[in-house]
Structure 1
Amino acid sequence: MTIVPVILSGGTGTRLWPVSTSEAPKQFQPLIGDGDMFRQTLARVVDRTRFAPPLVVCGPAHVVHVEADLAASGVADAAIIVEPAARNTAPAIALAALARDPAALILVMPADHLMTDVAAFLRAVDTARAPVEAGALATFGIAPAHPETGYGYIAAGEAVATGVHRVRRFVEKPARDKAEAMLAEGGHYWNAGIFLMRADRFLDELERQQPAIARACAAAMAASRSDGHLIHPDPQAFLASPSQSIDYAVMEGAEQLVVVPVDPGWSDVGGWAALYDLADKDEDGNVRMGHVVALDAHGNYLRADGGKRLAVVGVSDLIVVTLGDDVLIIPKDRAQEVKAIVEYLAANPPPTA
């Protein structure tokens, strides 16, 4: 049985403003690597001897971007589930699970992650397959490179097969000292939100733990309509679903939950500081994108989009990004606060002429 890739493309990437916006979020932007991250995600699952045609879940505003990337990638057999509204990952995955054979294996992947060692990831998927076919739900734990406080963690328990462990517990985003202690202890992995499971096992767990979500999604898909490769769940039924992440809704209380540790060179590219860490740098530690002049400048991320010239002198450890009429300047160690700018701009729109 081939595996059905389920690509979740509902994120908005607010911490990468002004390049990432709600209309054209980070997964559709050329930020790092070959093409945008949605296309990179597609490239991981193009082998039709291993993977069935993908199912993409996205909102109405992003269908045009998804279709363009599918065409550019030569993927003509994908289907797109168009969510009537954002309801987080548990309902989105439920729609996909209901759209295919109940016994199908579904590989759930966010569309906006980077992997530099795809072969390692595919080996981990192969490792997870046997326990999943036997009824387990599998998550993939990323080998932690440093004591990151912005990610959740998975604590691995006893081994149930080679490379497969029971999940002992989930740990919410920890304080620095707790993250350091977990790395020192070992057996703790970053939670990347990537899962392999049988569709029926996921739906059974959802019904057991979150019956309101299960009912709403089942009703939405039962009354769905198709328009070529587009699947439109019934809006009224879907809007009755609570909004919950798969971690809270299912995984934290799931039976037969396992983790497969893997080191695929993963990043969720969660902000400009993460992009700085990932990108190539000049002899002064600057990342330069576009037409950039940097004199006596060190350790900066400098990006000029849209043909404009960006010049800096005598500055260090800054993020400077220009796009159209927008200019972002922020210290690198405060890069996560870009989200506050997006929230401010949404609450304080410019006056109309």
Structure 2
Amino acid sequence: MTEAIHPVILCGGSGTRLWPRSRASRPKPFLPLLGQRSLFEETLARCTGARFAPPIVVAGERHVAPVEEQAPPGTRLVVEPAARNTAPAIALAAGLLPDDAIVLVCPSDHHIADVDAFGAAVEAAAKLAARGHLVAFGIAPDRPETGYGYIERGAPMEGGFAIARFVEKPDATRAREFLAAGRFDWNGGIFAFRADVLREELAAFRPDMAQAVAEAVAGGSWSGGRFRPAAPPFARIEGESIDYAVMENTRRAALVPAAMGWSDIGNWAALRDARAASEAGGDGAGSDGAGNIVRGKAELVDCRNVMVDSDGPRVSCIGLEDVVVVVDGDEVLVIRASAAQDVGKLGGAREQ
């Protein structure tokens, strides 16, 4: 294929599950959680080269400054008037592109260890998208995860699979059944499609949203590299994910499997695991051979699978297992790794 692929990078969310490191003033995508570059910079780097057009970043007003600080020259920024979830955000970007543009939707805060595998999946997805499919990337599961949605593979097709169904986050029993079945993938939130196909399917299943987005684009304006959609029509939209609005309804869905070392870095336990996996790459984390991961000053005695992340004070731990300790300025977080999903419930995280 010779057509350029247009990356659409989504910057949203509050990142409360990575509090206290992630705050409203410096949210998760813009932090160097793995290596020296931020997750956002890593996402942009994966979508750079002769195969790709300059990216479009979709972000809210509070993310404008870090986006423009970290994005390379030529990046276009769509500033959402309000947060309305992924379907309207993606539709805004698609509304600015030619009908036949191949759109690659990437969250800004995910980690992908195997960039070559990502590139191969992108090529396969682009070919399917050029034939009119809306393509989801299916992440090969390596455990019975209850924190992700799943996609069940249907019949094989050239370059991928039809999609039999999308499945909501399962309980532990169903997650084990999905892993054993071998035909379920995690829904990683990465998609590819032609711009006109996305617009057509959105109009078919969410006509009010499609109309409001079209009006917001038509009434918007560029200032340098920033595009600001018209706010009044966008405010009418009821927020909805691209999964609910389009992917679970369309008959044109396809799936490309992608075993690429993916993680959404959705909580501190996920970050601990990603750091452990990338240790050989020299990302700056240290380990003592017992599964412990340390950034900053720390002393661990008789500890296993403990992560310490401190930006200043020395942390000392004795006899702990599966614990995460985070020190960020004057905030300290200590959790069992199994409770990492609950960090967003803390008052400090909610008030960030």
Place the TM-score, normalised by the shorter chain, in its bin: over 0.9
Q: Contact 2:6–2:101 at 8 Å: present in 1 too?
A: yes
Task: Decide which moves more: 110-119 or 130-139.
Answer: 130-139
Q: Contact 2:5–2:126 at 8 Å: present in 1 too?
A: no
Q: Contact 1:118–1:264 at 8 Å: present in 2 too?
A: yes
Matched residue SS, 1:221: helix
Show structure 2 runs of 5+ residues with no match.
277-286
Percent same amino acid among aligned pairs? 45
Question: C-alpha distance in 2, partners of 1:270/1:144?
Answer: 15
Aligned CA RMSD, in angstroms, stands at 1.4
How far the C-alpha of 1:154 sits from its partner, in A, is 0.5
Q: Contact 1:113–1:269 at 8 Å: present in 2 too?
A: yes
Residue aligning to 1:156: 153
Q: Deviations over 1:21-69 (max 9, x none)?
A: 222211111111341100000011110x200000000011111111111
Question: C-alpha distance in 2, partners of 1:81/1:302?
Answer: 37
The one-letter amino acid paired with 2:300 is A
Residue aligning to 1:113: 110
Match of 2:321 among 316, 321, 346: 316
Question: C-alpha distance in 1, partners of 2:62/2:229?
Answer: 15
Q: Contact 1:14–1:342 at 8 Å: present in 2 too?
A: no
Alignment of 1:73-88 (within 5 A): 75-88=72-85
Q: Deviations over 1:185-210 (max 9, x none)?
A: 11110000111100010010101100
Alignment of 1:1-353 (within 5 A): 1-47=3-49, 49-70=50-71, 75-161=72-158, 163-280=159-276, 281-305=287-311, 307-342=312-347, 345-346=350-351
Question: C-alpha distance in 2, partners of 1:128/1:312?
Answer: 47
Q: Deviations over 1:301-320 (max 9, x none)?
A: 11111x32222233332111
The one-letter amino acid paired with 2:223 is D
The one-letter amino acid paired with 1:90 is A
Q: How many residues matched?
A: 340
Question: C-alpha distance in 1, partners of 2:98/2:271?
Answer: 39
Q: Deviations over 1:132-172 (max 9, x none)?
A: 112111111011111111111110111121x3110000011
The one-letter amino acid paired with 2:45 is A
Question: C-alpha distance in 2, partners of 1:115/1:178?
Answer: 26
Q: Contact 1:212–1:242 at 8 Å: present in 2 too?
A: no
How far the C-alpha of 1:284 sits from its partner, in A, is 3.0
Q: Contact 1:17–1:342 at 8 Å: present in 2 too?
A: no
The one-letter amino acid paired with 2:218 is A
Question: C-alpha distance in 2, partners of 1:198/1:293?
Answer: 53
How far the C-alpha of 1:13 sits from its partner, in A, is 1.4
Q: Contact 2:111–2:263 at 8 Å: present in 1 too?
A: yes
Q: Deviations over 1:96-149 (max 9, x none)?
A: 000111221100000000001111111111112222112111111011111111
Pair 342,92 (structure 1): closer, same or farther in 2 beyond 3 Å: farther
Q: Contact 1:34–1:40 at 8 Å: present in 2 too?
A: no
Residue aligning to 2:279: none
Runs of 4+ aligned structure 1 residues displaced above 4 Å come to 342-345
Matched residue SS, 1:339: helix
Question: C-alpha distance in 1, partners of 2:350/2:186?
Answer: 32
How far the C-alpha of 1:80 sits from its partner, in A, is 0.2
Q: Deviations over 1:286-307 (max 9, x none)?
A: 21111112233332111111x3
How far the C-alpha of 1:325 sits from its partner, in A, is 1.2
Q: Contact 1:288–1:302 at 8 Å: present in 2 too?
A: yes
How far the C-alpha of 1:344 sits from its partner, in A, is 7.1
Matched residue SS, 1:200: helix
How far the C-alpha of 1:242 sits from its partner, in A, is 1.1
Question: C-alpha distance in 1, partners of 2:305/2:118?
Answer: 31
Q: Contact 1:127–1:164 at 8 Å: present in 2 too?
A: yes
Matched residue SS, 1:250: helix
